[in-house]
Amino acid sequence: MENVHQNILSCIGQTPIVQLNSVTAELRAQVYAKLEYLNPGASVKDRIALKTIEDAEQSGQLRPGGTIVEATSGNTGAGLAIAAGIKGYKCLFVLPDKQSEEKRAALRAYGAKVIVTPTDLSIDDPRSYLAVAKKIAEETPNAFFANQYENQSNTEAHYASTGPEIWEQMGGELDVFVAGLGTGGTISGVGRYLKEQNPDIRIVGVDPVGSVYYDYFHTGQMTQPFTYLIEDIGEGFLPSTLDFACLDDVVRINDKECFHMTRRLAREEGLFAGGSSGAAVVAAMQYMRHNDGPDQKVLVLLGDSGSRYVSKIYNDKWMEEQGFLEPAIGLGNVAQIVEALGSRELITIPYDMKTTEAIGIMKMHGISQIPVMKKGSLLGIIQERALLEHALRTERVVSRAEDLCDSSFCTVNLETPVSVVSEMLRKVRVALIMDNAGLIGVLTRIDILEHVARVTGSS
């Protein structure tokens, strides 16, 4: 019986690839989707879960009767729980509270214990899901902390399985690979393998508004993270499993456009996938609008199943409560704002300028924040609030600009939709416009308001 599997674990992988037709009709490129949600645990994370356990068994970190502990958004936990049940291990998983109830219920159904922590916490906060999981692993006898954010079994699983599968299934004919950035293991492993086969294949990461990856990729600086609703992608820190050297570009997307595309995938393509899958398709569309061609072949990875989001993305009431069913207003992109502003002078200061001089420059130009540069690269911004707090300190120490730099900015490019910029400027004070040459401009909230008024005819 050669077509009969010994257990469900041997069914992991060899997921199909299908062509997208309706949702990508505006493109000349051929766009394909790899359906990773058809793995046994309904996500791409089954691959890393099995390899993580096997590697831990081989190294002696995971022993008979042990407990697997992990910080997870739900998908890695499901993969670990499936393998753990078959192999005789116990599981304990820690999830942020923004994860869907369906994910929590699935983990419990597989026999895992689930602990829920607040979402909006710094990764260094002892109450964060990663810190709680790590502490539990340390305090639980015979426990193994899977730690997908630092465990290289994550990346190696995709280098050994997902990458070769894609290359074989596409017959070596691939120009662009697009996938979400979560732990970074998928895109790093697949990207490394595909680049070894053909260095010209472009690897494009997908990052939600509120995550730090986009800004870090384009500036090398950490910015201020904030919460977003899409699950499974994005982070507020840099995992060691993400290799930025594998990436050719990162595209930023927002919750609303991702969720709308996710619903379209189900209705128009018959693909019942999760929100990160919609994000990957939206990002592929954005990227290909500027890189389109009839001979281009693009592959997007659909990471998990829509069955985990029936109470959210596929629920009209939830979508309405979040304001996602309101029709989108066509606000254009950053390039249109820049054109309307004309040749506005870009004001920056060097990192070693005295703060007293910085105050003078800001007063001269009537601005409340200013970018700080070091050897041609962006270091951060200084805000008038930081200067005021510094001036009011009892210890009057002469400081340089770099001493008061902060990361309360976001980065955009000329193609970034205004809807995305406006969402980010609800959380940070200023958007820095970047191109291949570096910093080219600054956008503030008033710039966005004036643009919206022009476009909508508001007075």
Token pair 């753990």: residue: 84
Domains located in the chain, CATH noted: 8-42+152-321 (3.40.50.1100), 46-145 (3.40.50.1100), 334-456 (3.10.580.10)
**How many Å apart are CA 92 and CA 320, to the nearest integer?**
34
Q: Which residues are known catalytic residues?
A: 45
| pLDDT averages per 10-residue partition of the chain, 459 residues | 90 98 97 98 98 98 97 97 98 95 96 94 88 96 97 98 99 98 98 98 98 95 92 96 98 96 98 98 96 93 98 96 82 91 88 89 89 89 85 69 88 91 89 89 92 79
Supply the DSSP string of 121-182, one letter for each residue: S-TTSTTSHHHHHHHHHHHSTTEEE--TTT-THHHHHIIIIIHHHHHHHTTT--SEEEEE-S
pLDDT of res. 234? 96
pTM of the model: 0.89
Q: Do residues 386 and 403 touch, judged by C-beta distance below 8 A?
A: no
pLDDT of res. 395? 61
Q: Do residues 266 and 38 touch, judged by C-beta distance below 8 A?
A: no
DSSP one-letter code for 315: -
- 340: tokens are 């309307």
